[in-house]
Amino acid sequence: MKKICIIGAGYAGLRALEQLAKNPAFHITLIDKNPYHYMQTEAYGYIAGRFDISDIAIDLEGYANGFEENVTFVKQKALSIDPEQKTIQLSDMSLHYDYAVIAVGGMTNFFSFIKGSREFTQGVKNIERAFEFRQAFEKRIYLKLEEKKLNRKGDLHIAIAGAGLSGVEIAAEMAHMLQSYHKILSQKSMQLKISLIDAAGTILPGMDPYIIKNTEKRLRELGVEILTEAFIKEITHREILFQDETTLSFDFVIYTAGIKGALFVQELATEKNRLNQIIPDDYLRLQNYPDIYAIGDCAEIKDQNGDILPPTAQIAEKSAEYVAKNIIRIESKESIQPFHASVDGVFVALGGHYAIGVLFKVIKVKGYSAYMLKKIITRFYRLGLELKVNAGYKKRI
Ligand SMILES: Cc1cc2nc3c(=O)[nH]c(=O)nc-3n(C[C@H](O)[C@H](O)[C@H](O)COP(=O)(O)OP(=O)(O)OC[C@H]3O[C@@H](n4cnc5c(N)ncnc54)[C@H](O)[C@@H]3O)c2cc1C
C-alpha cells in the first residue's frame, strides 16, 4: 500500500484527500496543526457577526472518520521534511511517505516597512484572530448600548488595510451589519465608519473592471470610505500614519494587505519566491523531488501566459485535483501533463444578500442573483464536508 501524507487540511489538502481516498491502494494521512478546517472564504461573515463559528469550522477528526479505513487524521504541527529519507517530522512523531503533498497555505504578510502593522492590527488568516476581533468588536457595541463611554469622540471607526478580495468582503459585510446596529443605537447617535485602504490605484487590483466598478459603487452606497493610492507608513495604538503625513484615527484595524507562504515552507530547502511560496515545476512537484508536491496558497501557481495567479480557494482546489490525478496516473504507469491553471470565475460577497460575479469572463451578475450563485457554490462545498463528518460520527456511535 502506498503511503501518501498531505500536510495541511485547507481547501487544497481536503480536495486532494477526497480524490486520493477513492483509491483503496493508497493510505492517506492528513496532517494539520489545528483540529478543524477553517473556511476562510466565509470569514467575512463571521467577523461581521452574521455567521456562527459552526459556519466556518469543520471538525477534522469526524471528517476523516467519514472515509474508509485508508484515511487517518493526525493533529500535529509538521516541522520539516526530509526528502532523502522520505520522512516528515511532526511535533511528536515522524511519518514515512511514498508521496508527500504540501498544502500548508499562507499566513498574513505583515510588511516590515509598515511599522506597527503586526502589533496593532487584527489578521483574519486564522480563527483565533478572527474570534478575538469579533469579541472585541461586540464588546464595543455592548458598551455603547449600555451608554458607556467608548473612545474620545464616542464614535466607532474601523480601518481595513488592504482592498483585495478579503478586505473588500469584510468591509462590505461590516458596513451592512453596522447599518443594522445603527438602527438599534441611533438614539445614542453613534457614528460608525469604515475606511478601506490600499496602496494600489484601485480596489481589487487585477480583477475584472466590471467587478471593480460595481464593487466600488456598492461600497460607497454602504457608506464605506475608499482610500486608494494611500501608502501606510506606520500604525500606532490608535492612528494610521500615511506617507503624505496625513493621519487616520481608528478603533480597530483589520489587516488584509497580503499573504506569504506558511512558516513550514521557510524551512524547506527548495526554490521559493519573495513571498515564501514554493516554486514548483510544471507538474507542481518540488524541483528535484518528484515525490513531493506543492499545492494551494503555499505554491506559486501560474496561468498559461506565465502570470502568477492570486491565491484563491478555487486555484487551491484545482491544483489539488490535478496533483491527486497525477499520483493516480503515475501509479498506473500512465503519462502526466503539465498543470494549466485558469480561473473560472470570481464572486465577491458585498454585504447582506448582495454579491457581484463574473463567470468564464463573459457572464456578469450582480445583486441577489449573484449572491444566490455564490451561496450555492459555498453550500455544495460545505455539504460535501458535512456528509463526511456525519458519516464519521455515525461510525463512532
Ligand atoms: C477573509 C478571506 C476571504 C477570502 N475569500 C475568498 C473567496 O471569496 N474566494 C476564494 O477563492 N478565495 C478566498 N480567499 C482565499 C482562500 O481562503 C485561500 O486561497 C485558501 O484558503 C487557500 O487554501 P489552501 O488549502 O492553500 O490553504 P489554507 O486554507 O490556508 O489551509 C492551510 C492549512 O494548513 C495548515 N497548516 C499550516 N501550517 C501547518 C503545519 N506546519 N503543520 C500542519 N498544518 C499546517 C493550516 O492549519 C490550514 O488548515 C479568502 C481568504 C480570506 C482570508
> Tens of pLDDT along 170-207?
999 989 888 877 766 665 555 678 999 999 999 999 88
At residue 120, does pLDDT exceed 90?
no
Written as one letter, the residue type at 245 is E
CATH fold of the domain at 2-33+76-108+259-343: FAD/NAD(P)-binding domain (3.50.50)
Please give the grid coordinates belonging to residue 103.
Answer: 498544502
E strand or H helix at 258: none
CA distance 144 to 157: 13
Q: Is 104 touching ligand 1 by the criterion CB < 6 Å?
A: yes
Q: In the chain, which residues fall in CATH 3.50.50.60?
A: 2-33+76-108+259-343, 117-255
Q: Is 63 touching ligand 1 by the criterion CB < 6 Å?
A: no
Please give the grid coordinates belonging to residue 340.
Answer: 494549466
* pLDDT at res. 204: 93
The β-bridge relationship of strands 285-286 and 192-197 is unpaired
Q: Is 316 touching ligand 1 by the criterion CB < 6 Å?
A: yes
pLDDT band at 152 (very low <50, low <70, confident <90, very high): very low
CATH fold of the domain at 117-255: FAD/NAD(P)-binding domain (3.50.50)
Sequence-ordered alpha helix ranges (H) in 277-367? 313-331
- Residue (of 79, 80, 100) closest to 280 by Cα position: 100
| 3-class secondary-structure state, position 207 | coil
- Would you say 161 and 197 are in contact if contact means Cβ atoms under 8 Å apart? yes
Please give the grid coordinates belonging to residue 294.
Answer: 506543492
Ligand 1 centroid to Cα of residue 40, in Å, is 6
First CA to last CA across the chain, in angstroms?
A: 29
Helix and strand counts by DSSP (H, E) for the chain: 10, 23
pLDDT mean over 346-351: 94
Q: Is 12 touching ligand 1 by the criterion CB < 6 Å?
A: yes
CA distance 326 to 329: 5
| 3-class secondary-structure state, position 351 | coil
Q: Is 11 touching ligand 1 by the criterion CB < 6 Å?
A: yes
| 3-class secondary-structure state, position 199 | coil
Tell me what the pLDDT averaged over the chain comes to. Answer: 90
Residues in the chain: 397
CA distance 184 to 364: 36
Q: Which residue lies with its CA nearest to atom 35 of ligand 1?
A: 8
For the chain, percent of residues with pLDDT exceeding 90: 67
Q: Directed axis angle between helix 11-20 and helix 313-331, to 10°?
A: 30
pLDDT digits (tens, 9 = 90+) for 305-331: 888 888 999 999 999 999 999 999 999
**Own/partner pairs, 267-271, CB within 8 angstroms, 24+ separation:** 267/79, 267/80, 268/80, 268/81, 268/102
Ligand 1 atom nearest residue 8's Cα:
34
Q: Is 319 touching ligand 1 by the criterion CB < 6 Å?
A: no
Q: Is 166 touching ligand 1 by the criterion CB < 6 Å?
A: yes
pLDDT band at 97 (very low <50, low <70, confident <90, very high): very high
Please give the grid coordinates belonging to residue 133.
Answer: 476581533
| 3-class secondary-structure state, position 247 | strand
Residue found by looking up cell 463528518 in the block:
389
pLDDT digits (tens, 9 = 90+) for 219-243: 999 999 999 999 999 999 989 999 9
At residue 214, does pLDDT exceed 90?
yes
Give every CB contact of residue 187 below 8 A, 6+ residues apart in sequence.
Answer: none
Q: Is 30 touching ligand 1 by the criterion CB < 6 Å?
A: no
- Would you say 331 and 120 are in contact if contact means Cβ atoms under 8 Å apart? no
Q: Which residue lies with its CA nearest to atom 12 of ligand 1?
A: 312
Please give the grid coordinates belonging to residue 240.
Answer: 494610521
Kindly report which listed range (1-10, 63-72, 98-107) carries the lowest average pLDDT score. Answer: 63-72
Residue found by looking up cell 483585495 in the block:
164
CA distance 30 to 14: 8
Q: Is 264 touching ligand 1 by the criterion CB < 6 Å?
A: yes
* pLDDT at res. 191: 67
Q: What angle do CA 44, 295, 380 make, to 5 degrees?
A: 50
> Would you say the pTM of this structure is higher than 0.75?
yes
Mutate which of 312, 314, 343 to test ligand 1's pocket (most atoms within 8 Å of Cβ)? Answer: 312
Kindly report which listed range (94-108, 139-153, 214-228, 357-371) carries the lowest average pLDDT score. Answer: 139-153
